[in-house]
Homo-oligomer: A and B are copies of this chain.
Amino acid sequence: MGLDTVKTPFGRVQDSLGGSATYFSYAASFFSPVKLVAVVGEDFPREHVDLLARRGIDLKGLQRLPGRTFRWSGSYEFDLNEARTLATELNVFESFRPQIPPALQETPFVFLANIDPELQLDVLKQARQPRLVACDTMNLWIKIKPAKLREVLERVHIFILNDGEARQLTGQSSLIKAGRTLLKWGPSIVVIKKGEHGAFLLTEGRFFAVPAFPLEEVYDPTGAGDCFAGGFFGSLVRDGGSLEETALRRAVVFGTVMASFNVEKFSLERLKTLTDAEIFSRYRQFIQMTHFEDSDMRETAPR
């Protein structure tokens, strides 16, 4: 969890609520119970904690440590796909060693949000026989801790990352090749997010691709990938953790939908007012906008 200062062509926010665990948890909470493990500093506003609590997110794993909260500052140019990091202050993250409360160690579903892969491993070791584990990562860890990241990948079922990260981690320019390489490193499911260009899911022998939900304006892409992951993993958990094809495809679509809402405003402003009815309506709309099935196939074969 962190406090973000973000500038886009449409405005600027300072020390607003952010962090991958925040976005992930909030988005996932629309689909299944969420138990958050994270750290904040003494300066972290109480209202942000209350916001998560109001969504029913279990906060027993949220530690408040002496010092300042993690801060990230970034800007987006006209092309909103790529963030430029202006500053990162680790603050309380520097000494953070996550302690999973006993009540949370039994959870069958674990999502390791973007953080130092050593901490991801720490968390995973404290989980007793999780049934389904997914993780995300980012360019920083790919660069400075690739070996630890590979250790994480050996222990997860699902790896969710963006296109640039997939290319950086594998050295493959083709995203399909990058995805296949990642499948060999551990996860049986790889989901590659492509920002405004959609996402695809790859397993051994199976492939599912979606475009992004079409929006006239994107105000702030911060957290979109985490909301995708929250909708995706939340939906899988809601379906009992099934990895069968329909559940996976449904999860990709709910991930897409959650990301599309999040980018409509800064920070969690859009998610704060989001309703189940809005999510479901956009879900149906998305299916309608991408659906094609040739009911009369023989006739349409090229001559």
Contacts and interface: CB of A to CB of B under 8 A. Distances in A.
Contacts of A254: 302
A302 B31 contact: yes
Contacts of A239: 300
Copy total for this chain:
2
A198 interface: yes
A211 B214 contact: no
Interface string A225-254: 000000000010011000000100110111
Interface string A251-283: 011100000000000000000000010011001
Contacts of A79: 173
Best-surrounded residue of A32, A253, A294, A302 (most CB of chain B within 10 A):
A302
A185 interface: no
Contacts of A209: 211, 214, 289-290
A69 to B, nearest CB: 30
Interface size class of chain A, counting residues whose CB lies under 8 Å from the partner chain? 35 or more
Interface in A168-227: 173-174, 176-177, 180, 194, 197-198, 200, 207-211, 214-218
Contacts of A250: 292, 294, 300
Contacts of A30: 302-303
Contact of A211 (B32, B211, B216, B300): B211
B301 A280 contact: yes
A125 interface: no
A194 to B, nearest CB: 7
Given A300-B250, A301-B276, A197 B194 contact: yes
Contacts of A207: 214, 289
A284 interface: yes
B302 A279 contact: yes
Contacts of A46: none
A291 interface: yes
Nearest to A174: B216
Contacts of A246: 294
Contacts of A218: 174
B208 A303 contact: no
A208 B292 contact: yes
Contacts of A249: 292
6 contacts: A198-B211, A200-B214, A208-B289, A208-B290, A238-B303, A279-B302
Interface of A: 30-32, 78-79, 173-174, 176-177, 180, 194, 197-198, 200, 207-211, 214-218, 235, 238-239, 246, 249-250, 252-254, 276, 279-280, 283-284, 287, 289-294, 297, 300-303
